[in-house]
Chains A and B, each alone.
Chain A
Amino acid sequence: MNFSPVNIIGTMPEIYLTVLGCLLFLMEPFVPAKKRSLLGIFAIFSLVFAMIATFGLNGKGLPLYQGLYIVDPFSNFFKTVIYLGTIITILFSLPYLEKEEIHLGEYYGFLLFAAVGMMIMVSAGDLITLFLGIELMSLCLYVLVGLKRNSNRSVEASFKYFLLGAFAAAIFLYGISLLYGASGTETLSGLAQFVANPGALRPMVLAGMILTMVGFAFKVSAAPFHMWTPDVYEGAPTVVTGFMASVGKVAAFGVFLRVFWVAFSANRDHWSLLIITAAILSMIVGNIVALVQTNIKRMLAYSSIGHAGYAVIALLNPSRDSLFALMFYMFAYLFMTLGAFGIILILRRKGIEAEEISDFVGLNKKNPMAAFLMLIFMFSLAGIPPFGGFLAKFYVFMAAVHAGYTWLAVVGVLLSAVGAYYYIRVVMAMYMKDPVEPVEFTPNRMEGMALFVTAGMTVLLGVFPLPFVHYIETSLAILVP
C-alpha cells in the first residue's frame, strides 16, 4: 500500500468525513443536551466541506492505491447524491429526534460514518474494499435502525436487519472468495480481464458471481431478497427509513452497476437472465403487495422494492442509455423518496407519528400545503408527468427497448399501472375524504427547507431537467464513451 500524496488527496473527502465524524463522537459528551442540534449543524458543515473537496477532484478517473480505489466522475456523481441525501436527512432529523426523544449526539456520527461507507462502496475498485464499505454502512445502519431503544418494533427491526444483513454479507464474502480462488485477483479490472478470456467460465466464477449478485440484491432490496425491507422500514425511526430507502439504495445501485459492468461485462449472457428475473419479481412483488398495505411506511417499502425492479432493468445492457437511465433514476428517486418520508415524519396525530394511510384522510382540509407536497411525491413515484419520476421511468424503459427487451418494458409499464393505484389511493385519502381525526403538520424551518428542496427538485427534474442531464452526462462519460 502506497500512501503517496496523490492517493491521500484523492481520498480526501472520505478522510475529512471520518475525522470529522470521530470529532463528533468526541464532542458529544461536552455538548449539553439542549444544544445537540449544534452537532447536526456541524455534521451538515462537514458534508458540505467534503462535497467541496469532491468537486475539486472531479477530473479524470484516478485509480488510487494500485487500483483498490477509484475516484472518477462516476463515483463523484454518486458521492454528491450521497452528500445531498445525507444533508436532507439531517435537516429532517433535527426536530424529529427531539419529538421522538431519541436525540443522541452519536446519531450524527453514525450518519456520517454510514455516508463514508457508501462513498467507499461507490469508489471501490476492489471487492475487499467494496466489502469494507458495505459493512461500514451496514453496521451504522443496524445501530440507527435500533435507535428507538424502548420501542419493540425498532429493536426488532434492528435485530432482523442485522441477522439477515449478516447472512447477506457472508454470502457476498463467500462469492468474493470463490472469485478470488478462480481468478487469483479481486480487483475489478483484474476480474474483468480474467472473465473476458474464453476459458474462464468455470462454475466457480459463475457461482462467485451469482453469490455477489445475491449480496447486492439484498442491499438494493430486489426480490427475492427483499423480505427484510417492509419490517425494517416499518420499525426503524422514519428518518432512518428515509435515509436507508433513498441514500443507501442509491449507493448500493452505484456499486452494483460498477461491479457488473466493469468486472462481469464479458459474460453478460450468463447473468442477464438473473437480472431479468429479479426485475420482474421485484416489480410484481413491490407493486402488487403494496396494494394491500395500510401502513404507509410499509407501503413505501414495497414501493421501493418495485422501484428496485425498474432500476435493475438498466443493468442489462452496457450502453450510454442504460447508464444514464440508472443515474437519472437514482437522482430522481432520492428526492421523491426522501420527501415522501419527510412528510410522514412531520405529520403527527396526537403527538404520535402518523404512520397509517388513514392518518392522511382529509389532510387537504387541514393542511393544503402538506397535502399538495405529498401529491407531488406520490404522483412522481407513480411515474406521472410532469414530475421527475416520469422521466426516470421513461429513460429506464428507453434503455430496455434499446437493449432489445421491449417485452420487459411492456411488463414494466403494465405493472406500473397497477402500482399507480396505491399511490393515488394516498392522494384520494388526502383530497377526497373528510378528516376524521385531527393531525398536526407543523414543520419547523429546517424541515420546511428540506421539503422545499425535495419537492422543488422533484418538479424541476420533470420540467426543466437540462442542467442535471448535463451533469449526469459528464459524469458517465468515463464509463461509457
Chain B
Amino acid sequence: MTFLSVPILTFLIFFPVVASLLILPFYKKPGSDGAVKWTALGITVIEFLISLSLLIGNNPHLYQMQFVERHLWIPFGNIHYALGIDGISLVLILMTTFLMPMTVLTSWVGISKNLPLFMINLLVLEGAMIGVFCATDFVLFYVFWEAMLIPMYLIIGVWGGPNRIYAAIKFFLYTLAGSLLLLVAIIALYFVGGHTFDISRLSGQHYGMTFQILAFLAMFVAFAVKIPMFPFHTWLPDAHVEAPTAGSVILASIMLKMGAYGFLRFSLPMFPDASHFFAPMILTLSVIAIIWGAFMALAQEDMKKLIAYSSVSHMGVVTLGIFVANTQGIEGALMQMLNHGITTGALFLCIGVLYDRSHSRLLSEYGGLAKQMPIYSTLLVIFALSSLALPGTNSFVGEFLVLIGTFKTHAVVSSLATTGVILSAMYLLYLLSRVVWGVYTPKSYAMPDLRAYEWGSLLPLVVMVIVIGLLPNPVLSLFHQSVAHLVGQMQPSPLALLHQ
C-alpha cells in the first residue's frame, strides 16, 4: 500500500519529521505560537488519519509481516532498510499516532518557551517511535531506538520542571547504557545467525543454550530498563516528575511499551529456551514490580510520582503476561500495553490540566474539585476507575487475561499478582478522595473547568476507555494470529528439554 506514491510505512515514519520543517519559519518569530500549535496539531492529526489506512489494508488472518518494504541500506554488513508490521506492531503504531495529537493539545498553554523547537522535537520523536515499531532489520531498529533518546532528552531537559537536568541525564544514561549491550547482542547475533540482521530470519533458529542465555541477558537489560522492570525502574519517577505533561504522556504511554515490544519481537522468538530458563526470575521480578510499585504509589504525595509508580506496577502485569508465554498471557499483555497507554496517558493529561492552573502537583494542594470542576472530575474518576481495572473499562480486559493466563501455569504467582489489583484500587481511590472529594479550599487562582483544547485531548480517550472495555474483541482479533504464531515459536526445543 502506498500513500502519495510513497510506501505507507516510510510515509508514516518520515511525514512528521519532514513536515516539522514547516514549523521552522516560525522560529524566533514572536506571536507565531498559535500558528505553530495549529501546524503541529494538523500534522499529527493527518498522521493519525493516514495511519488508519493500515487498519484497512491489514489482513488480520496473517501472522507474517505486512506492508513490507526492503531496500539495501548499507551494503557492508548486509544492513537493510526493511520495514513491515504484524498485528502486534499495528496496534502499537495506531496507539502512537492516536496519542500524539493529545500531546500537542496538552502543550497548548503548558509550553511557553521556545514552542517551535518543542513541537519539532515532538514530531521527530513521533517519526522515530513509529520507526521502532516498523523496523524489521535489527540495525535499523537500533537506529530508531537510540535516535528517540535525543528528542526525549531535550523534551525533559529543556521544558521540564526544576530538577529537569538531573532527570534528563539520568534518563539518557540509563537508557543508553542498557541499549549498548543490546548493540553487542545484535552484532553477536549477526555472526551466529548467518550474517544477516533480518529479524524474521534471525528468529526461529535454534541457537546454542549458552549463546541464548548471554544474548538474552544483554537484551534483557535494554528492554528491562525501558519498561522499566523492578530493579531498573529508578529513572522513571524522576523522568516523569520533571518532564512536561506531553513528555510524561509519551514516556508512559509509548516509550515504556517499547521494552515490552522488544521482548515480544526479539527475546521470545529468538531465544525461546533462554526465555523459558529465565521465566521464573522474570515472573518473580514482575510480581515484585506489581506489589512494590503499588506500595510506592500509595506513599506518594506528588500526583505524577503516584502515577509513575503505578506505571511500574502495571508494566509488571505486562511482563508477567509476556513471560507466562501462553496465548492468554501474551494477548492480555498486549491489551494491557494498549490500555495502559490510553489510561495512564489520560491520567497524566488530567494531572497536566491541574498543573496548568495551579502549578502544583501535590495532593495536599487539592480537594473538593468535584464542586469546582465537575466535568473534569467526572473524567478523572472514569480514568482512575479504568486504571484500577474496573470491569467494563479497558484495563479490566488486559489484566483479567494476564491473570487467567498466569493462573493456568503459575497459580501462586497469579494470586500474588492479584493483590496488585487491590492495591491499585487503594492508591487510585485515595487519589480521588484527596482530589475530587473532600473540602474545597478557595485558591488565589481560578480553577475553571475544562477548556476546549482539554476537551479535545481527553474526550477521545474516554471514548476509547469505554469502547475497548465493552468491545475488546475487534482489538484482540488484530493481533490474535501474530500472538498464536509467537506462542508456536516459543514451544521449548528438544535442546531445552534435554537441559531439564
Contact = CB atoms under 8 A, between A and B. Distances in A.
B165 A401 contact: no
Contact of B76 (A390, A417, A473): A473
Contact of A417 (B153, B176, B191): B176
Contact of A394 (B27, B139, B165, B169): B139
B149 interface: yes
B28 interface: yes
Interface stretch (B96-104, B179-187, B336-344): B179-187
A328 B188 CA distance: 20
A77 interface: no
Contact of B173 (A324, A401, A402, A417): A417
A409 B173 contact: no
A128 B241 CA distance: 64
Contacts of B470: none
A379 B150 CA distance: 8
Contacts of A406: 184, 188
A91 B77 CA distance: 35
Interface string B101-124: 000000000000010010000000
Given A398-B187, A414-B180, A384 B146 contact: yes
Given A384-B146, A417-B173, A431-B154, A466 B27 contact: no
Interface string A400-441: 011000100110011011001100110110011100000000
A386 interface: yes
B190 A398 contact: yes
A466 B150 contact: no
B228 interface: no
Contact of A409 (B143, B168, B169, B184): B184
B143 A385 contact: yes
A222 B382 CA distance: 61
Contacts of B146: 384-385, 390
B191 A395 contact: no
A391 B180 contact: no
A433 B169 CA distance: 14
B173 A368 contact: no
B73 A386 contact: no
A-side interface size class: 35 or more
A428 B168 contact: yes
A386 B184 contact: no
Contacts of B25: none
Interface string A363-391: 01000100000010001000011100011
A433 B164 CA distance: 10
A413 B185 CA distance: 11
B243 to A, nearest CB: 13
A462 B158 CA distance: 25
Nearest to A328: B76
A431 B158 contact: yes
Nearest to A429: B165
A222 B165 CA distance: 33
A35 interface: no
Contact of B158 (A385, A398, A432): A432
Nearest to A375: B150
Given A385-B147, A432-B158, A466-B75, A401 B184 contact: yes
A456 interface: no
A397 interface: yes
Given A428-B169, A432-B165, A469 B75 contact: yes
Contacts of A425: 169
Contact of B169 (A385, A414, A424): A424
Interface of B is mostly: helix
Nearest to B178: A417
Nearest to B139: A394
A368 B27 contact: yes
B143 A390 contact: yes
A433 B154 CA distance: 12
Interface in B53-80: 73-77
Nearest to A410: B184
Contacts of B153: 424, 427
Contacts of B164: 432
Nearest to B218: A410
B157 interface: yes
A466 B73 contact: yes
B176 A420 contact: yes
Nearest to A470: B75
Contacts of B77: 395, 398
A397 B172 contact: no
A318 interface: no
A63 interface: no
B416 interface: no
Nearest to A433: B165
B355 interface: no
A61 interface: no
B184 A397 contact: yes
B74 A384 contact: no
Nearest to A413: B180
Contacts of A368: 27-28, 117
Interface in B158-174: 158, 164-165, 168-169, 172-173
Contacts of B173: 417, 420-421
Contacts of B74: 391, 465-466, 469
B266 to A, nearest CB: 17
Contact of B157 (A398, A420, A432): A432
Contacts of A390: 143, 146
13 contacts: A324-B76, A368-B117, A385-B146, A386-B147, A391-B74, A394-B183, A427-B154, A428-B169, A431-B154, A432-B165, A432-B168, A433-B165, A469-B76
Given A398-B190, A432-B158, A466-B74, 9 more contacts: A324-B76, A364-B114, A364-B117, A368-B27, A424-B153, A431-B158, A432-B157, A432-B165, A473-B75
Nearest first, the 4 A-B pairs at minimum CB distance are: A413-B180, A417-B177, A385-B143, A432-B157
